[in-house]
Amino acid sequence: MDDCIFCKIIKGEIPSATVYEDDEFKAILDRFPANQGHVLVMPKKHIQNVFEIDPETAGRLYTLTTKIAKVMKETIGFENMNIVQNNGPVAGQTVQHFHVHLIPRYENDTVSVTWKQLELTDEQIEDMRKKLSKAII
Site for ligand 5GP in 49-78 (CB under 6 A): none
From the CB of 63, what's the least distance to ligand 5GP, in Å?
A: 21
Catalytic residue among 38, 46, 97, 99: 99
> Going by C-beta distance under 8 Å and a sequence separation of 6 or more, which residues neighbour residue 10?
26, 42, 44
CA 47 to CA 41: how far, in whole Å?
13
> Going by C-beta distance under 8 Å and a sequence separation of 6 or more, which residues neighbour residue 89?
96
Q: Which of 1, 11, 18, 31 binds ligand 5GP (CB under 6 A)?
A: 31
CA 124 to CA 72: how far, in whole Å?
40
From the CB of 96, what's the least distance to ligand 5GP, in Å?
A: 7
Residue 99: active-site member: yes
Binding site for ligand 5GP (CB under 6 A): 5, 14, 16, 28, 30-32, 86, 92-95
Catalytic residue set = 99
